Structure 1
Amino acid sequence: MIRTGSEYKDSIRGTREVYVSGERVKDVTAHPMFKPLVDIRARIYDMQHDPATRHIMAYKEDGEWNAVNNKLPHTQADWWDKRRATDTVLEDVGGIVTRVGDETVGEMWSLFDGQDVLNEVDPQFSENIRNHIQKVLHHDPFHVSANTDPKGDRSKPPQEQDPDMLLHVVKETDQGIVVRGAKYETAAAYANQAFTKPTIANWGNSAYSDYAVGFICDLNSPNLKFICRTGFAGRAPADDYPLSNKFDEVDTLVIFDDVLIPWENVLFYRHTKAAMFIRATLHRYSAFAFTQRNLKLADMMIGAALFNVRQTGLDKQQAVQEKLAQLACYREGINAHLTAAITLSERSPGGLIMPNQSLLYSGRLLACSQLHEMMHLTRELCGGQICVTPDKASFDAPETKPWLDKFYTVNEDWVAEDRRKLLAFARDMLNSDYAGHRLTFQLFAQSPPFAHLAAVYRNFDWDGPMEFVKHAAGLSDSVLGETTRTPGDSAVSRWFDTQATRSAAE
């Protein structure tokens, strides 16, 4: 059931119309701007077969091996397994990759929870989502997400401008729907399929809209065009930009030029309530893997900063220790939210186990909203040499090597070449075009910052603090209005009750 890396590569070769830098790409598996990520995704597939990592990356069910990260979460243990599998991948490849499947497949589980809403439209759509979840489990495709449209003039509804600014249905046929428009999809040019759905569309009070459509798109479908931004890989030597050349996930404007979507791939259509439900719950699960990347990025920043200050003994200074402690608090804040979100997990409307929603969305907000500050703090700790150090060629050239060896060797433990590698790593992580792109991606890849706050607002338990103040201030019951909450009814209290019940049962 789980594929090998070579099987994955074979699945994306063929007739795709992929363009980058104004030229058509003949083979995305070999093109220098796509090959690094294709190779990493292939490595993830191979890790599911590798005896050293298979027990972490895959699980056996009914005699077949399946990917851990594709598994529907039914228990807390499933979430610990997913977290461990993602950490194992990032540690194996030596960097951060986000759109490789585990961060996007969770969006399908949100649809699984919304089957009642889908049934209002057509029971067939509910069956379609169940079928596609099974296909993900049993065929192990590289599954990505398609969210953002070009949008055009957002002060106007799409019908009052070029209607293709938002993806929409132009025709129904016996075989399926025909769609036209465009979507931005990270990794689409080298993925297998995309869950394609609307952004927050301006359809007003309409109950039905041709723009309210969600479907699974086979990225080998006819009439698709992939126009990619120029990647960072290959722009500069890998020795000087080790992250840019290996971990750039190429973003793509996918053009739907009258693409047929078979009915079995349509998940909802012409129903704005379903579309709004999906937008409101889209990251119920996927926000976990997304936020987990920020935890790894915090580790990278701490490691780079600490190596830099320890070289020269600056870690003994109180001001430096305070900055390192700020980085540690940022890191542990993310870690605490992820850990607590699993420990205080909740039962979803569809019967799955979802991370505690208030804690998960608060953790995502913490991770994203403070990232730029933590990056700047790391710059301070790394020092000005990350922006002035010569390139690898200068360290190797006979005329300049002796001087650079002299001035970049710190002591017998830190020779010039190690010092150069560390500074190049930090520069690429913090100051390069890739670094700026990564920062923007983390801010907007799931949703814009204001939407992060809105998600916290929708999921925080406001009744708890109000009940506490009502009791402490001696207020009458009427001030709360209707509530089913009782004192002591909190997520933590419910967790302790659950543990007590388990202990009694044991």
Structure 2
Amino acid sequence: MDSNMKIESKAMTGTRNGVRSGADYIASLQDDRSVWIDGERIKDVTVDRRFRGAIQSIADLYDMQCDPALTDKMTFLSPSSGARVGLSFIQPRSAEDLRRRRDMMKTWMDAVGGMMGRTPDFLNVMVSAYASAHQLFAVGGERFAQNIVNYHEFIRENDLALTHSLVSPDIDKRKQMFEQPGDMVMRVVRDSDAGIYVSGARSVATLGPLANEVLIMPAAAKFPLVKEAEAYAVGFAARIDTPGMKMICRPSLPTRGRFANDPLSARMDEMDAVVWFEDAFIPWERVFMYRSIKAVESAMKSPSGPHGSHQSATRSLAKMEFLLGIAYNLVEVNHSKFPPVMGLLSELVAFVETLRGMVRVAEVDCIPGPNGTVVPYEPPLNVVRAQYPAMHARALEILQFLGAGNLVVAPTIEDLKSESGPAIERYCAGADIPAERKMQLMRLAWDASCSSFAGRQNLYEKFFAGDPWRNAAIRAERYPSAREAQDRVWAFLDRNGEWEERINGKRSHAPNAEIFRAIAICPEILEAFIPMADAIRKGYGIDPKLREMAIVMTCQTMGTSYEHNPHWNRAIKEGVPKEKMLALWDFEKSDLFSDLEKAVLRLARDATRAPAQVSAEVWNAVHLQLGSQQSLALLFNIGWYNMTGRLTGPLDLSDEAGFARL
């Protein structure tokens, strides 16, 4: 196959006009697709009541791209055609590109309250990531690398909506896909010069009946990398109207067909389906891997995961903000700002800000990706994947608490227009809003937290990224900072032994070594503390009796005993009579102290009192007899024990074991 194949091949044709409108999108769905629901094949999904609400919601998103006021926010210039194309197709090359893309995705998500998990941007982002790492697909053959690049350009230039299906259904969870009975799992059955033929099922294709194309890739997290799985090691893209392919949909969510009554169910049921292939033909131009276990293993290294997580985390943020807005409005309409109620709101605020922080960290801390691109930093996005399902479930519970009985008796628009309307106007009114406005809010809160739509949303959040338990195990195993954290612990324990040796060895003479053990919790401070203490205690020739009396006076003035008691003993050991030590507090009236001793004690006392004010007379009396160096060194000793005394007081350190005051 020609590695320079152009995208205008018969397998991939389109108008190449860049961004399309909502009307263009709707028209693109009117083809010969085989969509089945409730036992019938749907001839035209655009007019079927079970699909048209979600189709219109997607169409509205496409129209936003065509709004001149949003052009710069929603689009960028195609690197190949120069036309305006959707910004979700960009291959980011900087943190700013990631921010721009997130701003675009957030705009779409805000428009649907984050309630649609498979808007077109999700797959746009993932295919763009695959194409940025196209060399990974060359493991199975160079043409497959070129195919993914061409396909990315094709969907970008034609602004197509994609679904995907990565999971193989299983009848017996104990068995691998190639061991399942009845040839049920999708696999390659044969090939030809023109392409490949596939048969079997894939699940789940959310948005499938409403998309233009389906992307089929192996589920990397659970694909068995063994030879027996070769027939299943295939990746390709197919048009939804591909002959031999059908979408078998779950039942639609029950609604009354009125947006006012079911504002979410009637508009945003994006539909889930099983994709069934019966000898369906896929042209080689659309194949990205073929019967290659190595290609599956290689594709696992692509950045599609982090990029897809960036989109889903952005959606999670928009959704939680929307639920937060509902909650605040429920509180406001009933004037129920009581402390327990506000506590519930604060939980939602914490969820919102946590999600916002995770998204921003992923962008700011992005890492280099393939071919000059950047990749969002994945660990914070994994936090969102791990924690959002619980956040979402709790948010729905909070809405139920706040709405309470109002949710189960919220009338419909038909009720308001019936003969019961006047009564409803009275009992359904809010504190400051009319009944119809409050009814709209309650119907929305019901749909978001209690309806079938809410139940499907809750299930979706738990499983949309795959098996949550397997994913959690993979995230833990691949956490990039795990080894660094482990090494930091071992280093701490090694240094802890060194500190113990230093404290009990080099400083073992100190009767107050407990302070060093306390400071050891801050190793950098301890590293500086010990040499500083040693330097200050050298004293620069200060008479040790003067120094120890000054330290004891400092501690007495502060009222701290931890440093006071050992230095009391040290003063006596240095030769200060105990009688003089007992008279220390009243030294001014005692005849036991020399003029220099009194001057030193005044300096220690006045420098320690609050506020510390040492008069020129007091300072000069010391300076005149000790000189500049010894006077400053003495003042450092006084200041040092001011610091340690104020440190040991709050820490409530006790004297060393076996200590006794003389």
Matches within 5 A, 1:238-257: 238-257=259-278
Pick the aligned partner of 1:174 from 188, 193, 213: 193
Distance 1:44 1:303 in 2: 21
Cα shift at 1:116: 4.3
One-letter amino acid of the structure 1 residue matched with residue 251 of structure 2:
T
Q: What SS does the corresponding residue of 1:91 show, helix, strand or coil?
A: helix
Match of 1:289 in 2: 311
Q: What SS does the corresponding residue of 1:53 show, helix, strand or coil?
A: helix
Query: Are 2:306 and 2:377, in contact at CA under 8 Å, matched by a contact in 1?
Result: no
Match of 2:430 in 1: 410
Distance 2:327 2:396 in 1: 10
One-letter amino acid of the structure 2 residue matched with residue 76 of structure 1:
A
Pick the aligned partner of 2:147 from 128, 132, 138: 128
Which has the bigger relative contact order, CA under 8 A and spacing at least 6?
Answer: 1
Percent of residue pairs identical: 25
**Two-structure CA RMSD over aligned residues (Å):** 2.2
Distance 1:277 1:404 in 2: 63
Match of 2:230 in 1: 209
State which drifts further: 43-52 or 121-130. 43-52
Match of 2:345 in 1: 324
Match of 1:38 in 2: 55
Pick the aligned partner of 1:154 from 173, 176, 179: 173
Cα shift at 1:63: 3.4
One-letter amino acid of the structure 2 residue matched with residue 356 of structure 1:
Y
Match of 1:57 in 2: 74
Cα shift at 1:277: 4.6
Deviations 1:231-261 (A, max 9, x none): 2264454322111000110112221111111
Cα shift at 1:94: 5.6
Q: What SS does the corresponding residue of 2:84 show, helix, strand or coil?
A: strand
Cα shift at 1:329: 0.5
Q: What is the aligned residue count?
A: 473
Deviations 1:351-383 (A, max 9, x none): 321110111111222222332122112211222
One-letter amino acid of the structure 1 residue matched with residue 397 of structure 2:
H
Query: Are 1:128 and 1:267, in contact at CA under 8 Å, matched by a contact in 2?
Result: yes
One-letter amino acid of the structure 1 residue matched with residue 205 of structure 2:
E
Pick the aligned partner of 1:304 from 326, 337, 345: 326
Greater percentage in helix: 2
Match of 1:500 in 2: none
- Structure 1 residues 391 and 131, CA gap change in structure 2 (3 angstroms): same
Q: What SS does the corresponding residue of 1:136 show, helix, strand or coil?
A: helix
Cα shift at 1:320: 1.4
Match of 2:541 in 1: none
Distance 2:495 2:197 in 1: 59
- Structure 1 residues 146 and 350, CA gap change in structure 2 (3 angstroms): farther
One-letter amino acid of the structure 1 residue matched with residue 54 of structure 2:
L
- Structure 1 residues 352 and 170, CA gap change in structure 2 (3 angstroms): same
Deviations 1:137-177 (A, max 9, x none): 22221122112232221212344443532210000111111
- Structure 1 residues 427 and 280, CA gap change in structure 2 (3 angstroms): farther
Matches within 5 A, 1:438-477: 438-457=457-476, 458-474=478-494
- Structure 1 residues 322 and 75, CA gap change in structure 2 (3 angstroms): same
Distance 2:113 2:235 in 1: 35
Match of 2:421 in 1: 401
Does structure 1 residue 347 correspond to structure 2 residue 355? no
Match of 1:503 in 2: none
Cα shift at 1:332: 0.9
- Structure 1 residues 92 and 143, CA gap change in structure 2 (3 angstroms): same
Query: Are 2:233 and 2:296, in contact at CA under 8 Å, matched by a contact in 1?
Result: yes
Distance 1:475 1:120 in 2: 47
Match of 1:486 in 2: none
Does structure 1 residue 196 correspond to structure 2 residue 216? yes
Cα shift at 1:455: 4.5
Match of 2:384 in 1: 363
Distance 1:447 1:201 in 2: 9
Q: What SS does the corresponding residue of 2:231 show, helix, strand or coil?
A: coil
Cα shift at 1:29: 1.3
Query: Are 1:362 and 1:456, in contact at CA under 8 Å, matched by a contact in 2?
Result: no
TM-score, L = length of structure 2? 0.68
State which drifts further: 348-357 or 24-33. 348-357
Deviations 1:183-214 (A, max 9, x none): 23111112111210123556463276101111
Cα shift at 1:327: 0.9
Q: What SS does the corresponding residue of 1:227 show, helix, strand or coil?
A: strand
TM-score, L = length of structure 1? 0.88
Match of 2:184 in 1: 165
Query: Are 1:19 and 1:25, in contact at CA under 8 Å, matched by a contact in 2?
Result: yes
Query: Are 1:95 and 1:243, in contact at CA under 8 Å, matched by a contact in 2?
Result: no
Match of 1:145 in 2: 164
Distance 2:62 2:326 in 1: 29
Does structure 1 residue 83 correspond to structure 2 residue 102? yes
Pick the aligned partner of 1:314 from 336, 344, 348: 336
Matches within 5 A, 1:110-129: 110-112=129-131, 114-129=133-148
Distance 2:155 2:110 in 1: 25
Match of 1:22 in 2: 39
Greater percentage in strand: 1
Query: Are 1:107 and 1:283, in contact at CA under 8 Å, matched by a contact in 2?
Result: yes
- Structure 1 residues 296 and 84, CA gap change in structure 2 (3 angstroms): same
Query: Are 2:137 and 2:299, in contact at CA under 8 Å, matched by a contact in 1?
Result: no
- Structure 1 residues 470 and 425, CA gap change in structure 2 (3 angstroms): same
Distance 1:455 1:435 in 2: 29
Pick the aligned partner of 2:450 from 420, 431, 436: 431
- Structure 1 residues 256 and 461, CA gap change in structure 2 (3 angstroms): same
Q: What SS does the corresponding residue of 1:105 show, helix, strand or coil?
A: helix
User: Greater Rg, structure 1 or structure 2?
Assistant: 2
Q: What SS does the corresponding residue of 1:285 show, helix, strand or coil?
A: helix
Q: What SS does the corresponding residue of 2:248 show, helix, strand or coil?
A: strand
Query: Are 1:110 and 1:284, in contact at CA under 8 Å, matched by a contact in 2?
Result: no
Does structure 1 residue 8 correspond to structure 2 residue 29? no
- Structure 1 residues 7 and 403, CA gap change in structure 2 (3 angstroms): closer
Distance 1:408 1:235 in 2: 21
Deviations 1:43-88 (A, max 9, x none): 2222222212222111124631111011112221221112111222
- Structure 1 residues 302 and 208, CA gap change in structure 2 (3 angstroms): closer
Distance 1:87 1:204 in 2: 37
Query: Are 2:307 and 2:376, in contact at CA under 8 Å, matched by a contact in 1?
Result: yes
Q: What SS does the corresponding residue of 1:261 show, helix, strand or coil?
A: strand
One-letter amino acid of the structure 1 residue matched with residue 91 of structure 2:
L
Query: Are 1:203 and 1:209, in contact at CA under 8 Å, matched by a contact in 2?
Result: no
Pick the aligned partner of 1:268 from 257, 273, 289: 289
Q: What SS does the corresponding residue of 2:430 show, helix, strand or coil?
A: coil
State which drifts further: 381-390 or 330-339. 381-390
The gaps in structure 2 that reach 5 residues or longer are 1-17, 497-662
Distance 1:110 1:244 in 2: 32
Does structure 1 residue 222 correspond to structure 2 residue 243? yes
Deviations 1:381-430 (A, max 9, x none): 222321233333323221x222222212233x222111111111100000
Match of 1:67 in 2: 86
One-letter amino acid of the structure 2 residue matched with residue 260 of structure 1:
F
- Structure 1 residues 136 and 287, CA gap change in structure 2 (3 angstroms): same
Distance 2:344 2:243 in 1: 53
Pick the aligned partner of 1:379 from 392, 400, 404: 400
